[in-house]
Amino acid sequence: DDGFAPYNEKLKKVAEGRFSITNFIRKHIYQLRNMGELRNFITHGIKTNGETYAIPTQAALEKIRQYAEIIIEPPKVGQVFRKEVFTAKTTDLISDIIPLMKKHSYTHIPIYDEKGAFVGVLSESRLLHWIADAVIENHYANFELLKVEHCPLDQESDFIFVSKEMSIYEADLYFTEKKLKNQKFDVMFITEMGDSESQLLGMITSSDANVIDQYLIF
């Protein structure tokens, strides 16, 4: 908190920083600056008999209200993406997992060992590559007997655990930065505190961009 600072300077600081609403401010900075100009004109502009020439419309007031609500209390990933997450064990058969992935369009499955400890993520793409390599190299394994523990799991850089309190704008910025750096990143798993030991509360994949856009563009 820098105390009093001009409105546009505060916008610039937030847009250039890493705050929970940074990505939202970046995408709406032009409109927010215009609202600041409107406020200045109403407060300090030319007046006749104490009345300002600038009178905001009902639509403008509604837009200001929407911006204020988001800036004061940005939507959290734990609210927007809370859902039951399908998980599997290292001892589960691949022949049981694949039909479920197809039926429910599962793309990333958290894997746990027999003690309930998180060990990694089985992704649709990595599983497909693994099967393709086996076919190409004539390694015809009996998939009826193969277990999850025999499959390659995603690298740790491909996923992350985040707190349910993370704003969806922080999540969007994380995905965006990974994409700009050409770094593979597929999924965020949501827990109470952002650790892999806690119960899963939800997940976000790169295909959820359309959901996030609903909160970025209005």
What's the confidence (pLDDT) of residue 56? 81
When pLDDT is averaged across residues 135-139 and rounded to a whole number, the result is 72
Q: What is the pLDDT of residues 67-120, one digit of tens each?
A: 999 999 999 999 999 999 999 999 999 999 999 999 999 999 999 999 999 999
Q: Is the pLDDT of residue 2 over 60?
A: no
What's the confidence (pLDDT) of residue 198? 94
How many Cα atoms are found within 13 Å in the side-chain-facing hemisphere of 167?
Answer: 19
What's the confidence (pLDDT) of residue 193? 96
In 3D, which of 204, 206, 178, 177 has the Cα closest to residue 75?
204
Domain ranges of the chain: 7-74, 80-216
Torsion of CA 178, 180, 186, 190, to 10 degrees: 50
Q: What is the CATH number of domain 80-216?
A: 3.10.580.10
Question: What is the C-alpha to C-alpha distance for residues 159 and 203, in angstroms, rounded to an integer?
Answer: 10
Torsion of CA 11, 218, 27, 186, to 10 degrees: 130
Which residues, in sequence order, are bridge partners of residue 203?
A: 189
When pLDDT is averaged across residues 120-140 and rounded to a whole number, the result is 84
Which residues, in sequence order, are bridge partners of residue 128?
A: none
In 3D, which of 189, 158, 174, 170 has the Cα closest to residue 84?
189
CB atoms inside a 10 Å sphere around CB 109: 23
Q: What is the pLDDT of residues 26-75, one digit of tens each?
A: 999 999 999 888 888 777 766 666 676 677 889 888 999 999 999 999 99
What's the confidence (pLDDT) of residue 136? 76
118-123 and 108-112 beta bridge pairing? antiparallel
